[in-house]
């Protein structure tokens, strides 16, 4: 084997890598990301002036070329497969696009696809559509207005993605579909959300703009009363808010559900819901309210969607006012929702946010261009036909000569030149004459054909006049709009109610106020007992080892503050709790207020008794204490839960409300205690301050009990009373503890 030379070894050594050329990140984003951004905006998410996104347009055009405008229904899988010739993004996305355009899905006022099978429902996100092999579809007759003139060069045709066929850039719709069919999409850095309007109202407004381009917004508001949605419902009409939408293309439209009260069954039947929500979203909110005890007037609610259409039934308890309940549900559930408008539309390939008048004017410009292209196509065809008939007319005077020329010509290629020379016609005319069947070379046939010349000349003159007069073009478009309105116009599905007619109900019904006894135990059980119930029996049932820490008179509408062992504060109302008897254990506060695992209340305060100058005294297991003013707990809004209420450096032993200085008995696990005034404990404005040492403890000892002192005379003896802190404790017996703490004012 020959040895490798040094030259070969040098050749095998890899060349050193070239140093990387630094590039600004802005350049990288512009070069790599911007093409994707523009593709999503222009070719995917934003609708164009014909009212369609590319995926929708490709699907409908494919169905048109399949002959499904007049033919029988075919399997949806067949349509999906054919559409992939224009749309390579996968069969699932194509089928989902078709589903949203079908009559069965009920998302459009004027569906484009006549469907057979299960296609789900727009008002239900869980009602799934069947697989495409089980469903059938064809184009609805309404689609004739989408493709009118498409075979007459009305719009540009471009090659598809693999250059095997062509597809239209836009569809030449004979009405402003952009405002009749709802459309929404999210691109990169922008979005579009176009609501639907009533077809007849849009046609009237377009006709008004064709006649008077500077039609005022007030006039448009009179013609186009409000958006119209396929799911019905009611628009809460605010003219100024609607004016903003019409002028800027942005704004919010408030929608309400439609319901009726069945007196016999004592239930509310919701028959129509806002277009922007679903029955699942409504049911979930109703469930949350029911679990929170805020739907006490409702005994049950259920989905009753069936063959008859949408229905959500709410069963009421006896004596419930259905009107008042629905007003409250409007404010608390998606039964009242808003459709956010953002009329962002592609115009000549560029996104533009426009008001209603501007959109209609852009559509008029687009439609005029389509109409003129159709006219020019017809004009060209008629001029070509006239030219042929004029040539045919020239042989009328001597048919026998024409026959003789054809018969006497030896070569087929000489027939056309000989006819041209004999009758002084051009090659196109001669070719037409040469192709006439022998049976038609008679005087009657030729005379009948020549009679068309006069009509053709009149039609050509009319088309030329039409192409030269914009006003006549607009008049023709007006005729088309009037025909569309007459043929396909429908009454409004969405009702209108003035904003001033809507009564806003309070978020929560006013609870009845009455005196009660409030009891809280050490283990965290809460009792709300009426005075009548207490008269029957005032003997409390408690868990073994539990004891009462709060026993006070209150009212049902009182607000409560629970301080827990997890450095958190919960706000509640007495009315949030159910009435119980003294003989029951009561409601477990941790479960009622959805506290964290292991969390329990250690103190209960009544909000009506609190003043901003009051303080809360916290005592911790390490013997430290701190006073925090109530002002430290002020928040901007009414919070249900407040975290970080006090320091977590050591476990909490007690939280005492201080409206005035109080004497407290602090006891360690070594049964040594001190009595100190709360005014000796420093005040800190920071909620999480760990405080200072109050009771001196030996290593391993902890503070285990804090009780308000009731007998001041007894407190002065025994060596427990301290005037300074920190202080060491004196021995405390069980009898002493009972004597010092068992006083009527201890729970205050």
DSSP 636-678: SS--SEEE--S--SS-EEEEEEESS--EEEEEETTSEEEEEEG
Three-state DSSP at 429 gives helix
pLDDT of residue 713: 55
Start-to-end Cα distance in the chain: 106
Type and span of the H or E element at 309: none
Residue 555 CB contacts under 8 Å (≥ 6 apart), including other chains: 513, 514, 515, 516, 574
Is beta strand 495-498 parallel, antiparallel or unpaired with respect to 234-237? Answer: parallel
Is 405 inside a domain boundary? yes
Q: Are residues 557 and 654 in the same domain?
A: no
Residues across the chain: 748
Q: Are residues 657 and 578 in the same domain?
A: no
Query: Could you check whether the bond before residue 312 is cis, i.e. omega within 30 degrees of 0?
Result: no
pLDDT of residue 14: 64
Q: Are residues 600 and 631 in the same domain?
A: no
Q: Show the 3-state SS of 105-126.
A: CCCCCCCCEEEECCCCECCECC
Answer for the pair 729, 693: CB distance below 8 angstroms, yes or no: no
Answer for the pair 103, 66: CB distance below 8 angstroms, yes or no: no
- 134 carries an active-site annotation: yes
288: containing domain: 258-334
pLDDT of residue 735: 82
- Give the end of a domain, one of 609, 638, 665: 609
Q: Are residues 661 and 604 in the same domain?
A: no
* Token pair 């703009």: residue: 209
Is 192 inside a domain boundary? no
pLDDT of residue 744: 39
**Separation between Cα atoms, residue 234 and residue 257, nearest integer Å:** 6
pLDDT of residue 655: 92
pLDDT of residue 91: 92
* Cα 220 from chain centre: 27
Is 187 inside a domain boundary? no
Query: Taken in order 156, 159, 160, 165, is the CA torsion positive or negative?
Result: positive
pTM score: 0.70
Is 272 inside a domain boundary? yes
Query: Taken in order 322, 323, 328, 331, is the CA torsion positive or negative?
Result: positive
- Give the end of a domain, one of 399, 434, 462: 462
Identify which of 252, 349, 342, 250 has the alpha carbon closest to the alpha carbon of residue 49.
349
- Give the end of a domain, one of 609, 642, 670: 609
**Separation between Cα atoms, residue 671 and residue 668, nearest integer Å:** 5
Q: Are residues 629 and 744 in the same domain?
A: yes
Answer for the pair 348, 295: CB distance below 8 angstroms, yes or no: no
Tokens (6 digits) for 177? 């579909």
Q: How many CA atoms lie within 13 A of 635 on its CB side?
A: 13
Is beta strand 344-347 parallel, antiparallel or unpaired with respect to 258-262? Answer: unpaired
Structural domain tally of the chain?
A: 5
Q: Are residues 628 and 588 in the same domain?
A: no
**Separation between Cα atoms, residue 413 and residue 425, nearest integer Å:** 16
Cα-based angle 708, 713, 714 (whole degrees, multiple of 5): 70
CATH number of the domain residue 49 falls in: 3.90.199.10
* Token pair 């043929």: residue: 487
* Cα 635 from chain centre: 31
pLDDT of residue 746: 36
Candidates 33, 36, 134, 514; catalytic one = 134
pLDDT of residue 448: 80
Q: Are residues 604 and 716 in the same domain?
A: no
Q: Are residues 594 and 654 in the same domain?
A: no
Q: Are residues 717 and 655 in the same domain?
A: yes
Q: Are residues 120 and 55 in the same domain?
A: yes
**Separation between Cα atoms, residue 518 and residue 528, nearest integer Å:** 5
Q: Are residues 600 and 629 in the same domain?
A: no
pLDDT of residue 632: 86
Answer for the pair 215, 208: CB distance below 8 angstroms, yes or no: yes
Run means of pLDDT, 10 residues per run, the chain, 748 residues = 49 66 81 81 89 96 96 96 93 95 96 96 92 96 95 95 95 97 91 96 97 94 96 94 95 95 94 95 93 86 91 92 92 94 94 96 97 96 92 81 86 89 90 83 79 91 95 97 96 92 61 85 91 82 88 89 92 88 89 89 90 90 92 72 89 91 90 90 88 91 87 64 89 81 44
Is 367 inside a domain boundary? no
Is 478 inside a domain boundary? no
Q: Are residues 639 and 544 in the same domain?
A: no
Is 517 inside a domain boundary? yes
**Separation between Cα atoms, residue 365 and residue 246, nearest integer Å:** 19
CATH number of the domain residue 314 falls in: 3.30.1360.40
356-394 vs 199-211: helix axis angle to the nearest 10?
Answer: 80
Tokens (6 digits) for 683? 């005040």
Answer for the pair 561, 568: CB distance below 8 angstroms, yes or no: no
Is 361 inside a domain boundary? no
Q: What are phi and psi of 639, to 5 degrees?
A: -90, 140
């Amino acid at each position: 084997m020959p040895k490798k030379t040094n030259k070969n070894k040098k050749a095998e050594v890899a060349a050193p890598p070239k140093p990387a050329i630094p590039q600004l990140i802005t350049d990288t984003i512009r070069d790599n990301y911007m093409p994707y951004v523009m593709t999503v905006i222009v070719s995917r998410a934003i609708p164009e002036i014909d009212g369609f996104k590319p995926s929708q347009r490709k699907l409908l055009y494919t169905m048109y070329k399949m002959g499904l405008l007049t033919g029988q229904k075919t399997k949806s899988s067949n349509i999906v497969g054919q559409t992939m010739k224009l749309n390579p993004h996968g069969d699932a996305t194509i089928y989902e696009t078709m589903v949203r355009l079908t009559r069965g899905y009920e998302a459009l006022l004027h569906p484009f696809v006549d469907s057979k099978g299960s296609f789900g429902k727009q008002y239900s996100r869980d009602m799934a559509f069947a697989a495409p092999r089980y469903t059938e579809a064809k184009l609805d007759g309404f689609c004739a207005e989408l493709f009118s003139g498409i075979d007459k060069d009305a719009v540009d045709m471009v090659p598809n993605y693999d250059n095997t066929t062509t597809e239209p850039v836009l569809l030449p719709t004979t009405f402003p579909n952009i405002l009749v069919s709802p459309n929404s999409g999210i691109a990169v850095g922008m979005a579009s959300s176009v609501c639907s309007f009533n077809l007849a109202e849009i046609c009237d407004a377009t006709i008004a703009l064709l006649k008077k381009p500077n039609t005022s917004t007030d006039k448009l508001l009179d013609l186009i009363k409000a958006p119209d949605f396929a799911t019905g419902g009611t628009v809460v009409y605010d003219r100024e808010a609607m004016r903003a939408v019409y002028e800027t293309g942005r704004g919010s439209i408030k929608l309400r559900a439609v319901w009726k009260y069945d007196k016999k069954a004592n239930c509310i039947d919701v028959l129509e819901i806002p277009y922007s929500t679903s029955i699942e979203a409504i049911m979930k909110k109703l469930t949350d309210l029911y679990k929170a005890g805020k739907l006490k007037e409702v005994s049950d609610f259920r989905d009753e969607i069936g063959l008859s259409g949408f229905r959500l039934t709410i069963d009421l308890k006896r004596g419930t006012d259905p009107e008042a309940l629905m007003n409250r549900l409007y404010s608390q559930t998606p039964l009242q929702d808003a459709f956010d408008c953002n009329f962002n539309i592609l115009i000549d390939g560029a996104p533009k946010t426009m008001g209603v008048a501007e959109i209609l004017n852009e559509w008029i410009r687009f439609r005029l261009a389509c109409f003129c292209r159709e006219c020019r196509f017809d004009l060209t065809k008629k001029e070509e036909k006239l030219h042929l008939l004029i040539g045919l007319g020239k042989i009328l005077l001597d048919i026998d000569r024409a026959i003789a020329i054809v018969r006497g010509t030896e070569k087929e290629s000489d027939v056309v030149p000989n006819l041209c020379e004999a009758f002084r016609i051009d090659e196109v005319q001669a070719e037409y004459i040469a192709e006439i069947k022998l049976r038609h070379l008679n005087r009657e046939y030729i005379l009948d054909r020549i009679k068309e010349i006069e009509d053709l000349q009149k039609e050509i003159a009319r088309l030329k006049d039409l192409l030269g007069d914009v006003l006549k073009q607009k008049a023709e478009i007006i005729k088309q709009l009037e025909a569309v309105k007459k043929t396909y116009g429908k009454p409004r599905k969405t009702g209108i109610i003035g904003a001033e007619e809507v009564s806003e109900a309070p978020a929560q019904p006013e609870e009845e106020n009455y005196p009660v006894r409030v009891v809280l135990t050490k283990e965290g059980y809460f009792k709300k007992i009426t005075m009548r119930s207490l008269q029957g029996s005032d003997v409390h049932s408690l868990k073994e080892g539990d004891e009462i820490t709060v026993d006070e008179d209150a009212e049902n509408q009182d607000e409560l503050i629970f301080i827990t062992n997890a450095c958190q504060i919960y706000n509640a109302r007495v009315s949030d709790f159910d009435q119980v008897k003294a003989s029951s254990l009561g409601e477990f506060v941790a479960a009622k207020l959805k506290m964290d695992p292991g969390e329990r209340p250690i103190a209960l305060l009544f909000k009506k008794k609190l003043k901003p100058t009051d303080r809360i005294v916290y005592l911790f297991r390490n013997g430290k204490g701190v006073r925090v003013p109530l002002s430290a707990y002020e928040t901007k809004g009414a919070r249900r839960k407040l975290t970080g209420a006090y320091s977590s450096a050591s476990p909490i032993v007690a939280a005492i409300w201080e409206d005035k200085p109080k004497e407290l008995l602090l006891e360690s696990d070594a049964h040594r205690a001190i009595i100190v005034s709360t005014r000796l404990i420093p005040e800190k404005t920071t909620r999480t301050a760990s405080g200072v040492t109050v009771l001196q403890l030996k290593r391993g000892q902890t503070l285990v009990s804090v009780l308000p002192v009731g007998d001041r005379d007894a407190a002065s003896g025994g060596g427990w009373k301290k005037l300074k802190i920190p202080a060491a404790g004196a021995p405390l017996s069980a009898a002493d503890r009972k004597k010092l703490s068992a006083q009527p004012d201890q729970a205050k």
